[in-house]
Structure 1
Amino acid sequence: MTNSSSLPNHLRNIRHVFVDETMQDSPITQRVRERLASTSHADIPWTTLPSGSDRVEFDQGKDQALYLKEYKGKFLRFCPGTRAYHCCGYRIIHFGENCPMRCSYCILQAYFQDRILKIWANQQDLFSELGDAFGADRNKRYRVGTGEFTDSLALEHLTGYAGDMIEFLGDYDNVALELKSKIVDLSWMDSVKRPDRILPAWSLNAPFVNEHEEFDVSTLKERLNAAKVCADAGFRVCLHFDPIIHYPGWKEGYAEIIDTIFDYLSPADIAYMSLGSFRCMPQLTPIIADNFPDTTYIYNEFVSGLDGKARLLRPLRVEQFQFMVNRLRSHGMDKQLYFCMESTEVWKEVFGYAPSDFGGLGKHLMAQAFGE
């Protein structure tokens, strides 16, 4: 008999679960079984796959599948930046791939050409690798995040992965963990031992972009309200404007969301905030055009950057950066602001200084993450 309880909207299209045969008894698999059993999705099929098989046969359409996989690769990685621009230098904890939400600008569309949401169910292998890395030198600090190849919290309702990660990292005070998301799930808060080492983070954008380019996500006000709940509980939060989109009326739109932030938060509540202009690999543009035919910003004026990605012409993106930085500074923001993947010249033109003036971006954000 199917339970009437529903999954969150962003998970409602999951119609099949695949699991590696070696992962059938893993704690993550058992948890997903138990949590699905109490929802309207209790009767969806489960298929066991041979170990090491990447062949997942799934009639996709708009439906999605969840794949609980034994991952054999490296879990702790460096951010895939480029030396041509200033990278924030954080480390990635790779715990899964793909995302159930649909944002027109998302680079994951170019990485993953399917609707299969992968989660690494061999969690103990992940924790073993992290323990070896973080425990080798307790004086070496790490700023890490899980939101690079998937959303940090999108599958939390089923997997509880972030809660497990936080509980594990509670023994490592040399690690600051950022949880970056576009949805609201605060169930992980119960696992926190040290709020000063957990950085809940949300992506923001202009209301027009949120309405027309982001689907199956929490609203901007829901995200900001969650950020306030976290700040009131003693956490410092992170916010990210990336990508900033150039569209008619962008000044009014970004002014509105910037002003709204400070109805919920004070500058002291924010550990850091990134600003990044829309940029993409050449192969992403036709994918966006195909998946989101009403999208128009991809036809703006772009030039190929030093990293081979299409970037908005520098005068246009500098204009946007200057407008947003000035607006944020008027609210009391300053040292928390940084650019994601921009040149020294753009830094100096907008901020009046470059990362080298304060010892490098990675060093600066490490200090911000640890509240220094």
Structure 2
Amino acid sequence: MLKRTNQLEVKMLHIVREGGGLGCPCGLMKLRGLLGIEDVKEHVMVLGRQAILEECEELGIEGVERIGTPGGSGVSGFWTIRKRMRELGNVDVVSCDDVGVLWAVDRVMRGAKKILWVSKLPVGRRLWWLRKYFGKRGGGRGICVIAVSTEAMKGQLMKLGFDGEMIRVIGVGVNEGKIERNEDVLKKLRVKWGAVGKEMDCFVVGVMSDRPMESDTRLVSLAGGTASIVMQSKLGKAWQLRVLINPTHLYRDRSINLNDEFGHVGLLVQERGTSRGWEIGAGCDALLVVGETSEDSLAWACASGKPVMCENDPRLRELVGAEESGVVMFEGNDLRKPSDQITKWAMDGGMREVNGKQSREWALKRFGLSEQRERFGMVIRELCGA
């Protein structure tokens, strides 16, 4: 446990907006790992539907309070948040994932220090509001820092004009080898996915994406792509590639819509979602990481111990770095390389095992929970002047 340099207790409020930087599956997993620092009394408030509260319960985040404002935005949401914050009284540090919440905090908790979590580059009005808040004529009463997952994201924000001195890098904290795997549960998952007990062989690729989109044709291309044809030819028997969208309570409807729209038998939707991505990943044969918050998804995909592919994004390149990670990168518009790599993994179980073990060891080293908690604790101590 982290210890402060003095014995003054810090009162901290985490405000999580559904769909925000913390209000997505990987964001909630990240928050769960950072909670519980010694001498910090924390309260978690979520803004959104009942689904996000269920996600917190799935992860074991206790004592969560839900305010049912749609996404925590709009005039009604703004006033509801302000009213509840007044009831909570004095708070030393407020952690949130939406710049609109910062304005509400400034109105009610003027002496509070603030941490704003940014998981993707702001654009449009969101960028305008962020610049306005941190600008000379903006709100920004007191001290506020921006928290990001990677140095690459920090660099991109600096290119947009934000001061690097106020940006802190706090990555996702993986549970350092203490991830539980229930083999019976994994077997049941694979039966449900149609990956065992069938006449044909099935290879399940899990897509780690916080927000599965109907327009993401890569999923369909993989599901009906050349891998199945090549494998059937090489094996001389029926073989099918199945793509499992890693859905959650929050985005399960989008997953179902995606499946219904294309009606492909190789596209799977998990009946009951979970934020605990490593449980889904451990049941798959390989994992594909896509999406705007993919740097956090990558950590959990690698921690599952299965071989991983991801898009060649600047933030991911910075994370993966040398080949020691075992992660295979591909260009977003290149569907042939993922298909070819899946074929190799499907044909060679030894290669799958080696790549998966390599990725897991790298993830536990790169995203160690104790290191990220230490970074988070340092930010809190810095804000409180301890």
TM, length-normalised to structure 1 = 0.34
Which structure has more helix as a fraction of its residues? 2
TM, length-normalised to structure 2 = 0.33
